[in-house]
Structure 1
Amino acid sequence: MIQTCRKFLLCCTIVAVSAVAGAQESVRLPDLGGTSTRILSPEEERRFPREFEQYMRASELLVEDPMVRDYFVDMGYRLVSYSDRAEENFHFFVLQEPNINAFAAPAGVIALHSGLLLAAQDEHEVAGVVAHEIAHVTQDHLARGMENAQRTALPTLLASIGLALAAASAGSGGDASQAILLGGMSLAQQFQINYTRQSESEADRIGIQLLARAGYDPHGMTRFFERLNLLSRPMGEGPPEYLRTHPLTVNRIAEARTRAERLDSKPERGDDEFHFVQARLRALSTETTKAELWFRVRLSGSERPTDAMRYGLALTLMRDQRLDAARDEVETLLESSPNRQIFRLLHAELLVNEGRVAEALDELESLMRQYPGSRQVTIEYARTLMHERDTERAAKATQVLRDYLQHHPDDLPRTELYARAADRAGDHVRAAEALAESYYMRGGIWEAIVQLERVIEREDLDYYQRSRIGSRLNQLRAEWLRLSERERLRQRDRDR
């Protein structure tokens, strides 16, 4: 399915980009580190993070698991808080891409590939990459690299990123790669920033300082770069994607190591949580046979925390519906730490898979009382309430999700779950409103408008419902008018 979406993304991109043929080397994922309005207009900078998210979601490249996403968003904001642009907006995303890479884009967008996260040995290495990308943004390296370029329209920028993603996925030499070369290389090359030695050195220096200030090991960045260099040697393969967009030299690594040593900083953070998050990402994104083998090999050794490897193995076995084997692993975890939240959530997930939904709800209600503000507990509780077609449970899920979405209004999966819960509970107006919001979050402003226009025509709406829906309609219509004529036509055609 993902490969199909990549092909679709490639076709859309080729249409969107000016076709210029040329025999140039394969385009690599662009490193667009900056927030200058010389690249996007102020209004487009405001819209870009949301539209980037919609674009990646439509291509099924966005990792939306809340445990995985929240962990790396928290890491990013922690690092940003120690930068000289702590007041600016940054936006962190995890993409389901096996390549070892990360990139920064306008408006403070920073994306991490799942391949990079799975290749890291600890959280300090990932934090080193994130800090480096943050430094590219805070130092306006993109603005400097494109100083003479004309301002670029937002759809064109998104198309360029999509083109480079497709090229990186296809690899050099394949038919798809050749199609990319014939379909618009010039625009993608425009965003292919070959950072100068000065820019890379500056990003290293500032990134290492951010690591130390935020309580991470300042040597994490250097360790990860050194390992990526080693990964490029087997079987004559080219270097990992990240080294192509961030070329390394022996001198650069030595300088980074010296800077880290001068800081004489000891990490304040342990990385136990990182290994659980990484294990979850591997279990959810890797073919089950490969994932099971990976976890069992690590369980037989001592290089990774045993509990995290057992957690990942249990999730993998559940994905494969080998529930008896999964129960053995879960019970072992509970014996070691019976009150640990992550193990109790795993136990509830196992109970649901075994068809013991009532028992799972008992476990989750206990967790809700113990951790009333926990996002993970709330999401799992609402999901379990909706596991069976029960009107009373659906009504309870509606209340839980309504409160949750007040704090997390941009959570698309939970918005869609709320729409289903409200509909099952008989609140069809709220269900229709939530459905409209889900259209909007997927980039369908016109579809959201049409949905709300149908709702507001109902004769049974009370004053408050009509006011609420009318206010949202006005907001959407104003945003609709700000779109280009081409984009409005595209959305209307899609709606038909």
Structure 2
Amino acid sequence: MLKSLMLGGLLSTMLLFSSSSNAQTDFKLPDLGSSALEVLPIDKEKALGKVMMMQIRGASPLVQDPVLDEYIASLGNKLVANANDVRFPFSFFLINNQAINAFAFYGGHVGIHTGLIAQSDNESQLASVIGHEIAHVTQRHLARRLQYQKDNSALTIAGIVTGILATIIAPDAGMAILSASSTQSTLGQLSHSRKAEQEADRFGMQTLYNAGFDPTQAGEFLTKLSNQVRYQTKPPAFLLTHPLPDTRVSDVRLRAQQYEQRQIQPSHQFNLAKSRVIARYQLESKDAQAFFENELRKSRALNNAHLQYGLAISLLDQKQLDKAEKILSPLLDSEPNNLFYLDVLTDILISQGKASEAVTLLAKQNSLRPNNQILALNYANAAIQAKEYDIAEQTLRVFLLDDPEHLLAKELLAEVYKSNKNQSAYFEAKADVLAEYGAFLKAADEIQRALNHVNDNETVKKTRLKALLKQYRQMQKEVAKL
């Protein structure tokens, strides 16, 4: 029910965005290069990125997994810290999709398909793709494409945004939209895209090396994709938006040879993240169990903890709780502060009806590492299941002070208020969630409902909610100006 409300708001947002964008197509856009800043100023780019992120939340299977979010944000920010021309903070998120794909768009938003993690052989391969996407943003390729298309009487801003969104969800459909919107030949568009790919390869590899990864793995990953093309009638999703001519693989391999060779030890965090993706998002639980049991039989590695971890998740998801706990306990004994393990143990305890034990366990961990999203959100969730709503509310409020746009935290807070029957706070929190999806008119309706549950003598609260109501309505108008 909530999802349908959100989608309704998103559709109205997109219509407003599309109609208002047409007024911008009369401008003569400048040449390529640094002039991209004039095509799309930084503040405008960030605003467009925010609107697109709102729509992605409602139109695609966004992964809300604090453990994977923490891992991918840590990896992404390590790369950003070593990139050139970074003009604003980046954000990284996961899409539940088995296709090998990643994408970047306005405002430093980078999306990664779960299939990319599952199919990467090592962390350097994964980092090479993310670094490539970061380069697309820092080199402002979308702004340049906007200029290029306008010079050829092609896309409106709304058209290119619609195409990018469609490409994220269904890559072949998105490319069709981009092509149908253009009067320029397909060859011309592809040629421009290849130039952008070459530049992203160059800057991305430098970022990869600066961040301490193995640059040769960029070529290994492209070779892997190239080999897949030979045996598939439909190429991997990544190649539909990232052209791969024969020369590109050799160019990337030659460029990697210019860097000093380095031996990279396998990343324990990457291996755990990959196992989690396979167990939760790539395979059905029974199939995942069979996969990890088979891998453990074949494994000769001294450390196969990531395979045991994946097996524990697959058993947990089948409600084989005692078996899952038996596998996980030794792992946690060896690494008592490992957040991957603590998260799964929390789920096991809650499923066993031991939510209070989970609260006790996480209270200490949360005090040692306050506002870590994995600990804070698991702690709050365990407190909700244990009906300790005061603990959950306080934990979430403190966490949201540090990360005020965290969607899962807002959804959990709304659940707290609903559970303890705090009606006005529930409707206000629900409005806050809807606003993250760009459904500002629906959010305004929820604030109106919140006002209906405020007593006449609560003048301060009533004044604040009325101001918030006005703000949401104004935000809808602002979106229409983009």
Q: TM-score, normalization: structure 2? A: 0.82
3-state SS, counterpart of residue 353 of structure 2:
coil
RMSD of equivalent CA atoms = 3.8
3-state SS, counterpart of residue 147 of structure 2:
coil
Alpha-carbon deviations, 1:390-437, whole Å to 9, x = none?
A: 3xx012211111111111221222212112212433543332321110
Alpha-carbon deviations, 1:75-96, whole Å to 9, x = none?
A: 2222122222233243322211
Whichever residue aligns with residue 422 of structure 1, its letter is Y
Distance across 2 between alignment mates of 1:202 and 1:412: 34
CA drift at 1:341: 4.0
CA drift at 1:129: 0.7
Structure 2 residues not aligned, in runs of 5+? 19-32
Equivalent residue runs for 1:28-427 within 5 Å: 36=36, 45-150=45-150, 155-165=158-168, 167-168=170-171, 186-187=180-181, 194-195=191-192, 197-234=194-231, 236-264=232-260, 266=262, 271-286=267-282, 287-302=284-299, 306-388=304-386, 390=387, 393-427=388-422
Alpha-carbon deviations, 1:321-380, whole Å to 9, x = none?
A: 122321222133234434544323322221111112222222222322333332211111
**Residue pair 2:146, 2:155 contacting (<8 A) in 1 also:** no
**Residue pair 1:35, 1:108 contacting (<8 A) in 2 also:** no
CA drift at 1:198: 4.1
CA drift at 1:112: 1.6
Distance across 1 between alignment mates of 2:116 and 2:35: 24
Whichever residue aligns with residue 209 of structure 2, its letter is A
**Residue pair 1:34, 1:141 contacting (<8 A) in 2 also:** no
Distance across 2 between alignment mates of 1:35 and 1:278: 40
**Residue pair 2:95, 2:114 contacting (<8 A) in 1 also:** yes
**Residue pair 1:103, 1:133 contacting (<8 A) in 2 also:** yes
Matched, 1:465 2:461: yes
3-state SS, counterpart of residue 257 of structure 2:
helix
**Residue pair 1:117, 1:278 contacting (<8 A) in 2 also:** yes
1:24 match: none
Whichever residue aligns with residue 397 of structure 1, its letter is A
Matched, 1:442 2:437: yes
**Residue pair 2:60, 2:169 contacting (<8 A) in 1 also:** no
Whichever residue aligns with residue 187 of structure 1, its letter is S
Change in CA separation of 1:309 and 1:352 when aligned onto 2, cut-off 3 Å: same
Taking CA–CA contacts closer than 8 Å with sequence separation of 6 or more, which of the two structures ends up with the larger relative contact order? Answer: 2
Distance across 1 between alignment mates of 2:35 and 2:420: 45
**Residue pair 2:50, 2:107 contacting (<8 A) in 1 also:** no
**Residue pair 2:16, 2:479 contacting (<8 A) in 1 also:** no
**Residue pair 1:164, 1:188 contacting (<8 A) in 2 also:** no
**Residue pair 2:371, 2:398 contacting (<8 A) in 1 also:** no
Deviates more, 1:156-165 or 1:308-317: 156-165
Change in CA separation of 1:107 and 1:246 when aligned onto 2, cut-off 3 Å: same
Change in CA separation of 1:204 and 1:155 when aligned onto 2, cut-off 3 Å: closer
CA drift at 1:240: 1.9
CA drift at 1:452: 1.8
Matched, 1:452 2:455: no
Distance across 2 between alignment mates of 1:34 and 1:299: 53
Whichever residue aligns with residue 88 of structure 2, its letter is E
Change in CA separation of 1:37 and 1:290 when aligned onto 2, cut-off 3 Å: farther
CA drift at 1:446: 0.8
**Residue pair 2:85, 2:139 contacting (<8 A) in 1 also:** no
Deviates more, 1:274-283 or 1:304-313: 304-313
3-state SS, counterpart of residue 93 of structure 1:
strand
3-state SS, counterpart of residue 103 of structure 1:
strand
**Residue pair 2:407, 2:436 contacting (<8 A) in 1 also:** yes
Whichever residue aligns with residue 248 of structure 1, its letter is L
3-state SS, counterpart of residue 121 of structure 1:
coil
Whichever residue aligns with residue 211 of structure 2, its letter is A
3-state SS, counterpart of residue 232 of structure 1:
helix
Whichever residue aligns with residue 299 of structure 2, its letter is S
CA drift at 1:127: 0.7
Distance across 1 between alignment mates of 2:337 and 2:195: 51
3-state SS, counterpart of residue 63 of structure 1:
coil
Distance across 2 between alignment mates of 1:60 and 1:202: 29
Distance across 1 between alignment mates of 2:402 and 2:125: 31
CA drift at 1:39: 6.4
Alpha-carbon deviations, 1:165-224, whole Å to 9, x = none?
A: 4544xx7xxxxx7x997x896138989755455433322221111011111122221121
Whichever residue aligns with residue 347 of structure 1, its letter is L
**Residue pair 1:91, 1:110 contacting (<8 A) in 2 also:** yes
Distance across 1 between alignment mates of 2:70 and 2:102: 17
Change in CA separation of 1:297 and 1:127 when aligned onto 2, cut-off 3 Å: same
**Residue pair 2:17, 2:480 contacting (<8 A) in 1 also:** no
Whichever residue aligns with residue 321 of structure 1, its letter is K
CA drift at 1:228: 1.6
Change in CA separation of 1:339 and 1:416 when aligned onto 2, cut-off 3 Å: closer
**Residue pair 1:432, 1:451 contacting (<8 A) in 2 also:** yes
**Residue pair 1:364, 1:381 contacting (<8 A) in 2 also:** yes
Matched, 1:477 2:473: yes
Alpha-carbon deviations, 1:16-55, whole Å to 9, x = none?
A: 999xxxxxxxxxxxxxx99946766766533333332222
Change in CA separation of 1:145 and 1:479 when aligned onto 2, cut-off 3 Å: closer
**Residue pair 1:17, 1:160 contacting (<8 A) in 2 also:** no
**Residue pair 1:17, 1:159 contacting (<8 A) in 2 also:** no
Aligned pair partner of 2:424 in 420, 429, 433:
429
Distance across 2 between alignment mates of 1:132 and 1:315: 31
**Residue pair 1:34, 1:105 contacting (<8 A) in 2 also:** no
CA drift at 1:155: 4.9
Whichever residue aligns with residue 407 of structure 1, its letter is D
**Residue pair 1:217, 1:266 contacting (<8 A) in 2 also:** yes
The structure richer in helix per residue is: 2
- Identity in percent: 27
Whichever residue aligns with residue 298 of structure 1, its letter is E
Change in CA separation of 1:424 and 1:245 when aligned onto 2, cut-off 3 Å: closer
Distance across 2 between alignment mates of 1:403 and 1:244: 43
Whichever residue aligns with residue 167 of structure 2, its letter is A
Whichever residue aligns with residue 453 of structure 1, its letter is Q
CA drift at 1:302: 3.3
**Residue pair 2:389, 2:416 contacting (<8 A) in 1 also:** yes
In the comparison of the two structures, how many residue pairs are matched?
453
